[in-house]
Structure 1
Amino acid sequence: ATGGDSLADGWTFAGESFSRQRERRRIGYVGPPGSMLTVSMSRLLKPDALADPLVQQLKGRSVIIAPNNIGTSDRHFSPYSRSLHGFSTEPMIGGEIHANAIETIMSGLYPRDLNHWIAWPALVAVLVAAVALFLRLHPVGGLGVGLGFSLLILVPAYALFQKDMLLSVAPFHLALAVAFLSTLALRLTGEERERAHLKSMFGQYVSDVVVDKLIAEGQRPNLSGEKLDVSVLFSDIRNFTTISEKLDAEEVVEMLNAYFTLTCEPILEQGGMVNKFIGDAVMAVFGSPVHYDDHARRALLAAQAMAREAKKFKTWMTDRFPDRGLPEFGIGIGVHSGPAVMGDIGSVKRREFTAIGDTVNAASRLEGVTKEIGCVVAASAASISAAGEGILTGRRQVVHVKGKSEPIEVFEVLFE
């Protein structure tokens, strides 16, 4: 077509030299399959072919003759053949690929890589923005951001491709994937460390749900001490001294373990903290270390459930220790709501997260009041009022308790 010698050592096309030695060059495709002018051989062989407008467009062009029937195997994938929405997913015929190669040579418009001084800063900028969002958002949200960035980078890559410039998206996708997985691993290991720390502090006293809530909401108890509105529950076994005198030491431990296993479960179910065991007594706090606006209601619901469990425990005691002359099993529960100081209290060698203050003392005294007024659960008016509707109460009495100058209005809480 150019009049050159096919046996020469090299050729010059469009001002550029090409040697006989094989070398790789990029093809600047003008578009998807079908973008090149294609004329069927049957139209060229018609007697009036020169009058055909499509044939007339071949004038002055380089022409490639190649098979284009469906059965030919001379079909190949190109950058346009798949993956771009709106374009055919069929491969490109060999003749059209050769036509694109010739067009690239004649025009000199070879696809070239985007300048590294532009590509790498863009990669760093995208990565910094993505990592900042990964660390701030929930992992599911972070995954969405990563997918969004991965899709967004395709837009400038395609726009540059139309200008015969290549922006490789693989480094962006790989960097986003590594950044997401790294931040996820960092977050998980950090959460696991925090979970282990909280477990070591509260694992024996609160449910796993409470620990998960502490982590999920970012709540951390102030170990140095803080004043909070909480509800405190005290419970002990009636006539425990008499029972313990008629049982062996091993039997006493067995009984207490069985009893605490049953009665502590309602505390945990209501999000309370089993703060400590004092002989046959148990102290629980609601509203710390996790804050609940309805801590009073949770404490009273737990008290009602504990009373029901204690009633069932009577049968266990009768079956386990028959003919031992034990007094009838029963418990007393006192609940009071108000401010208390929560903190990590103790010596250098031994500390515990607990509550102290007038509210704690009042709850303990109310447990003792249950014997005087002849009920199982006694709650202060402060707890009943804070709990709202739905808590069944019985007798009401105003009592004076040790350690308080003002009398306390007490309600019997019904549980059946």
Structure 2
Amino acid sequence: MINYYGPDGSQQSDSVGVFPTVSYEEVIDDSGYTTVFEKELDFGVNTFDDPMIGHLSQGTFEDKIVIVGSSMPTLRDFYSTPFAGDEKLLPGYQIHANAIQTILDSNYIERFRGWYSLLIMLVFCFLITLTNRFANATYGWVLALFLGGGYMFLTYWVFVNLNIMMFLTGPMLAVFVTQVGMVSYEYYVEQKEKRRIRGMFSSYVSPELVNQMIESGEEPQLGGEEKYITAFFSDIVSFSTFSEKLEAKELVQLINEYLSAMTEILNTREGTLDKYIGDAIVSFFGAPVFVKDHALQACISSQLMHKKLAELRTKWEEDGWPEIVVNMQHRIGINTGEMVTGNMGSSRRFNYTMMGDNVNLAARCESGAKQYGVFTMVTEATKQEAEKFGNDCVFRLLDNIVVKGRTQPVKVYEIADLREDADDKLFECINFYEEGMELYFNQEWDEAISKFKKSAELERHEPNPSNIFIERCEMMKEDPPGDDWNGVFIMKSK
């Protein structure tokens, strides 16, 4: 390769000086040749053999290598070189001059060995890959720019000072392609992870919660994490009777329609489906993504589910389903407290679920609602937590009980209705009922019975809490509990 010394007539070499250009007219202008210029002057100025100024006397060509070439544009003997681009081409004889001078000076350009360049490319690729994998794409781009810029400066310095030409395109492409490839790969992995999380939880939680989990960039803590959440249990009343009255195909159709409608409400209110146990729905609010008003959302969900079931009953009646289906009811139990959520099961098959004493208490509320003739029973913890975020639900105290399997008493409440749907009759009923409860806890049985009878007249359905407490007050009159009675009722069954 030619080691060019510079543009035409502007660069000098320390060992040989400039590459001078002598016009051919000056060479043929001797004493035997009269040029046009000499004719115009009327005297001869021989530029070649004049003893004072001629090239012979000056030694212009003495011990020199002379290249004869053309600079006429019409001959088109012009070419691009590293010092001459499209706007200023270099005459062909100048290229020969640079080539000859390169040989005379032994000023050769050496090529960088190919396997060295390959090694540099591999190192660059490795560094960028590690940076993107263990840091992030931002640091990867910074490193790519640093490596690319540093390598370009190195190739320039090595060429100028050591006459070594390093391969520039390969390493630069390696840096660029590796960085773009890693960013593309990380983007693909991120999208794949988003799809995995969305697919994993779309059957359990609402799309809004799934998107919140993905956008947060935080993996849900699977494998056992204690959280303050709300457990939710629902079950169809006397479902075994349905199995006796309906054919298997009809039963599956009915349950699928019911579960689809109820689960849609849970997802809409940011609940998480745990599992179906036959006709029963087990779910929770507040995990895997935190929902600050989880208790309120659970309470509202229960009432929306009751309203939806009423709509379904009307539809089923129009569709000609038997009376048992048209009169379907379900009961709901809710409790709020510390529970463990995570992937639980075997190493090959597991389920994202919840467990703990507070989960069992929610299940006891669902089954215990039957004893009070209500369809939704919640604990005091749920009521208090829900009321921190709004008064959307109308609560009334049911009892202070010790459920089966526990020793500590807990106050339980009915969600009578959503406040926006409650009428004056309901509030009047609850007012009489609460007055009766106060008398009941004070062991003023006759006065309590009087209040409960007034609330019983306003109750929406049979049986109801008012009638339950009328019977209990009658029983307490016959067998008084004693002065040390604390109002706790111990449930003997689940």
Q: TM-score, normalised by structure 2?
A: 0.56
Per-residue CA deviations over 1:276-307 (Å, capped at 9, x if unaligned) read 1122111113444x342537266556556655
Query: What is the CA–CA distance in structure 2 between the aligned matches of 1:298 and 1:147, rounded to whole Å?
Result: 51
Cα separation, 1, equivalents of 2:268 and 2:143: 37
Question: Which sections of structure 2, spanning at least 5 residues, go unmatched?
Answer: 12-18, 27-34, 42-46, 48-59, 422-494
Matched, 1:397 2:372: no
Contact 1:340 1:359 in 2 (8 A): yes
Q: CA RMSD in A?
A: 5.3
* Structure-2 change in CA distance of 1:382 and 1:146 (3 Å): farther
- Alpha-carbon shift at residue 234 of structure 1 (Å): 1.6
**DSSP-derived class of the 1:363 partner:** helix
Q: Quick one: structure 1 residues 330 and 123, their matched pair in 2 at CA, closer, same or farther if it must change by over 3 Å?
A: same
Question: 1:361 Cα deviation (Å)?
Answer: 1.7
Aligned to 1:249: 248
The 1-side partners of 2:20 and 2:300 are apart by 83
Superposition pairs for residues 259-338 of structure 1, below 5 Å? 259-268=258-267, 272-288=271-287, 290-292=288-290, 294=292, 296=294, 299=298, 303=302, 306=305, 309-322=308-321, 324=323, 326-338=325-337
Q: 1:201: Cα distance to partner?
A: 7.8
Amino acid at match of 1:232: A
Which secondary structure state, in structure 1, belongs to the residue aligned with residue 327 of structure 2? Answer: coil
**SS in structure 2 at match of 1:389:** coil
Closer/same/farther in 2, CA of residues 314 and 130 from structure 1, 3 Å limit: same
Pick closer, same or farther for the CA change 1:262–1:313 going to 2, 3 Å.
same
Q: How does 1:85-124 map to 2 (within 5 A)?
A: 92-93=89-90, 95=92, 97-98=95-96, 100-102=98-100, 104-114=102-112, 123=121
Aligned residue for 2:153?
A: 155
Q: Does structure 2 retain, via aligned residues, the 8 Å contact 1:314–1:329?
A: yes
* Cα distance in structure 1, aligned partners of 2:70 and 2:106: 24
Query: How far did residue 246 of structure 1 move?
Result: 3.7
* 1:27 aligns to 2:26 (yes or no): no
**Is the 2:202–2:210 Cα contact (8 Å) retained in structure 1?**
no
Q: Match of 1:134? A: 132
CA contact (8 A) 1:380 1:411 kept: no
Alpha-carbon distance in 1 for matches of 2:241, 2:324: 10
Deviation at 1:355, TM superposition (A): 1.6
CA pair 325-233 structure 1, distance change in 2 beyond 3 A: closer
1:367-407 C-alpha deviation (Å, 9 max, x unpaired) = 35666475658575447527853561222426335245232
Query: How far apart in 1 are the matches of 2:100 and 2:400?
Result: 105
Per the TM alignment, residue 162 of structure 1 is displaced from its structure 2 partner at its CA by: 3.4
Counting only pairs closer than 5 Å after superposition, residues 43-62 of structure 1 correspond to structure 2 as none
Matched residue SS, 2:153: helix
**Residue 307 of structure 1 contacts residue 377 of structure 1 at CA under 8 Å; is this kept in 2?**
no
User: Greater RCO between the two (CA within 8 Å, min separation 6)?
Assistant: 1
Residue in 2 that maps onto 1:406: 409
- CA-CA distance at 1:346 after TM superposition: 5.0
TM-score, with structure 1 as normaliser: 0.64
Does the C-alpha gap of structure 1 residues 246 and 159 become closer, same or farther in structure 2, counting only changes over 3 Å?
same
Contact kept in structure 2, 1:267 and 1:273, CA below 8 Å:
yes
Question: Matches of 2:373 and 2:8 in 1, distance apart?
Answer: 93
Residue identity opposite 2:171 in structure 1: F
CA contact (8 A) 2:121 2:175 kept: no
Q: In structure 2, what residue type is equivalent to 1:334? A: G
Relative to structure 1, the CA distance from residue 394 to residue 218 in structure 2 (aligned partners, 3 Å threshold; closer, same or farther) is closer
Q: In the alignment, residue 261 of structure 1 is paired with which amino acid? A: S
Q: Name the structure with the higher helix share.
A: 2
Show structure 1 runs of 5+ residues with no match: 1-25, 51-58, 82-87
1:219 aligns with 2:219: yes
What residue in structure 1 maps to residue 442 of structure 2? none
Deviation at 1:133, TM superposition (A): 0.9
Q: How far apart in 1 are the matches of 2:165 and 2:361?
A: 76
State how far apart, in whole Å, the 2-side matches of 1:178 and 1:204 are.
Answer: 39
Equivalent runs, 1:370-385 vs 2, <5 Å: 372=372, 374=374, 378=378, 380-382=380-382, 385=385
Q: Distance in 2 between matches of 1:386 and 1:91?
A: 83
The one-letter code sitting in structure 1 at the alignment partner of 2:256 is: N
Q: Which has the larger radius of gyration?
A: 2
Amino acid at match of 1:284: S
| Equivalent residues of 2:110, 2:164 under 8 A apart | yes
Give secondary structure in 1 for the equivalent of 2:156: helix
- 1:112 CA drift (Å): 2.5
Report what 2:168 is aligned to. Answer: 169
Give the Cα–Cα distance (whole angstroms) in 2 for the partners of residues 89 and 311 of structure 1. Answer: 85
Question: How far apart are residue 274 of structure 1 and its match?
Answer: 1.8
CA distance in 2, matches of 1:247, 1:131: 63
Q: State how far apart, in whole Å, the 2-side matches of 1:145 and 1:305 are.
A: 56
Q: Distance in 2 between matches of 1:242 and 1:376?
A: 21
Instruction: Verify the 8 A CA contact 2:333 2:362 in the aligned structure 1.
Output: yes
Does the CA-based 8 Å contact 1:243-1:327 persist in structure 2? no
Q: Deviations over 1:38-82 (max 9, x none)?
A: 9998xx99979x9xxxxxxxx999888555859958444x5578x
Matches within 5 A, 1:57-76: 65-67=69-71, 69=73, 72=76, 74-76=78-80
1: CA distance, partners of 2:332 / 2:10: 86
Distance 1:31 1:265 in 2: 79
Measured after TM superposition, the shift of residue 144 of structure 1 is 7.1
Distance 1:144 1:258, change over 3 A: farther
1:356 is the counterpart of 2:355: yes
Find the aligned partners of 2:6 and 2:297 in 1 and give their Cα distance.
69
The letter of the residue matching 1:235 is S
Look up the equivalent residue of 2:231 and give its one-letter code.
Answer: V
CA–CA separation in structure 1 for the residues paired with 2:399 and 2:168: 77
| Offset, 1:254 | 0.9
Number of equivalences: 372
2:56 is matched with none
